[in-house]
Amino acid sequence: MAFIIRNGNGIYRIAETETHKNEQNVSYPPFSTLEISSDDFSKLKKNIAFATVSGDTVTIEDTSVSFNNLNILKSYHTDLKQNIKQFLKGSSNQNKTLYSAAESYHNTLSSFDYSTITFPLEQSWEEYCEANSITYLHPLQIP
């Protein structure tokens, strides 16, 4: 089972495992969790679906994401790197299970060769990573 971490009906984070859920930098309450299937988590992680929450009901809907040009993708990467850097700076985060994956992903993003991509990129960045065996995290996984 995987989890959506929410504040009311707003989705705050997603977690693949119980450990990842417990290592998020949140307090329960006001945050709470809802279980989702591994398949639904995979769709969310690949950014090919989005979730909505109403009460205790989670609805997963397919979506499509694309990047029309290099500047849009670079902007997305800049935001990702800032989120990851914030996580990596926290001294208490070094013992968290996602730390090494976040560090590796940050390094990958920082040294990525954009000439390997043809635009428009007709898929999410996360789908691209999966198709090219790049270890990645969805922004909502980063504590």
53 plus 85 within the same structural domain:
no
**Do residue 94 and residue 58 come from a single domain?**
no
The predicted model gives 80-108 an average pLDDT of 95
**Pair 100, 40 in one domain:** no
The reply to whether 58 and 81 lie within a common domain is: no
Structure tokens at 97: 């299970």
Same domain, 135 and 89: yes
Q: Of the residues 13, 35, 62, which one is the last residue of a structural domain?
A: 62
57, 89: one domain: no
Among 117, 131, 124, residue whose Cα is nearest residue 62: 124
- 75 and 57 co-located in one domain: no
Q: At what angle do helices 70-89 and 99-110 cross, to 10 degrees?
A: 140
Same domain, 92 and 38: no
Contact 130, 136 (CB under 8 A): yes
HSE-up (13 A, CA, CB side) for residue 118:
0
Q: Return the pLDDT at 52.
A: 94
Say whether both 9 and 51 belong to one domain.
yes
Res. 90: pLDDT tops 90:
no
Q: Do 54 and 89 lie in a common domain?
A: no
The pLDDT score that the predictor gives to residue 13 is 96
- Within this chain, do residues 57 and 86 fall inside the same structural domain, yes or no? no
Q: Per residue in 95-125, pLDDT tens?
A: 999 999 999 999 999 999 999 999 999 999 9
Distance CA(36)–CA(136), nearest Å, equals 20
Domain tally, the chain = 2
Q: What pLDDT, on the 0 to 100 scale, is given for residue 76?
A: 97
Q: Which domain does 10 fall in, by range?
A: 2-62
Average pLDDT, the chain: 95
Q: How far apart are CA 90 and CA 117, in angstroms?
A: 33
pLDDT one-digit tens code per residue, 20-54: 999 998 888 899 999 999 999 999 999 999 999 99
Residues 58 and 121 in one domain: no
| pLDDT (average), residues 46-72 | 95
